[in-house]
Structure 1
Amino acid sequence: MGAKVTYNMEEAVKDADVVMMLRIQLERQKKGLFPSAREYSKFYGLNSKKLALAKKDALVLHPGPLNRGLEMTAEVADSSQAVITEQVTNGVAIRMALLYSMGGGKVNATN
């Protein structure tokens, strides 16, 4: 479908319009399969240097909750490019609407 697979963070971020990070679920990781937090952050964490490879106005997304310093630095998470709070807020509203609709609620724009 035109997607390119890479294991290099810098290559993945280069010229991106959006950088979507995911939460590392440390509680589900087995010690032998997951690198140290320092190693993970070094190779896959988003910091200002890596974000600078993306387009100047690239958005930073993360579904929350954020493990600051692991998935991304606080500097990036608190930057004007990060729209994490908006993403989380909209995600709650979307899930509420889907549950309402799936539960038999009527979808009517005039309500």
Structure 2
Amino acid sequence: MAVTVSYDLDAELPAADAVLMLRVQAERMHGGFFPSAREYSVLYGLSDRRQALLPGHAVVLHPARCCAAWRSSPRCRLVAIRCAATGFQWVHVRMAVLFHVLVGAQEAAA
């Protein structure tokens, strides 16, 4: 399975089957990954404009509560993930994807 890394969300959304949204914990915002919550939202937030870029069959996965205004948007295709209720741990999925992107890419290049 080939993995392509992109930092341009707008370019990738038209080809997405699913989008897994994650929240950044406020206590981790000072780590230097990005200057502010606003910048993170502008770069990676799923606005109405970005939702319109998704194909008709795409779903949006979100592991926690989200903004009621966004959830009530006519374009919203939210599938709420209830980790506690289902017992499924999305952290394992994220870890596997990150491992494949970081380590798998290095092994493929070797």
TM above 0.5: yes
Q: Which has the higher helix share?
A: 2
**Who is 1:99 aligned against?**
none
Aligned partner of residue 60 in structure 1, secondary structure? strand
Residue 86 (structure 2) pairs with residue 94 (structure 1): yes
Aligned 8 A contact 2:29 2:37 in 1: no
**Superposition TM-score, scaled by structure 1 size:** 0.63
Residue number among 75, 79, 86 corresponding to 1:83 in the alignment: 79
Q: Which residue identity lines up with residue 81 of structure 1 in the other structure?
A: R
**Who is 2:7 aligned against?**
7
Q: Which residue identity lines up with residue 13 of structure 1 in the other structure?
A: L
How many residue pairs were aligned?
Answer: 86
Give every structure 1 segment of 4 or more consecutive aligned residues whose post-TM-superposition deviation is greater than 4 Å: none
**Superposition TM-score, scaled by structure 2 size:** 0.64
Unaligned runs of 5+ in 2: 89-110
Aligned 8 A contact 1:23 1:65 in 2: no
Aligned 8 A contact 2:29 2:36 in 1: no
1:98-109 aligned at under 5 Å gives the runs none
What is the deviation of 1:61?
Answer: 0.6
Larger radius of gyration: 1
Q: Distance in 2 between matches of 1:78 and 1:2?
A: 36
Aligned partner of residue 32 in structure 2, secondary structure? helix
Unaligned runs of 5+ in 1: 97-111
Identity %: 41
Q: Deviations over 1:32-65 (max 9, x none)?
A: 3322222211111001111111111311111114
Q: Which residue identity lines up with residue 5 of structure 2 in the other structure?
A: V
Q: Distance in 2 between matches of 1:2 and 1:31?
A: 30
**Who is 1:19 aligned against?**
19
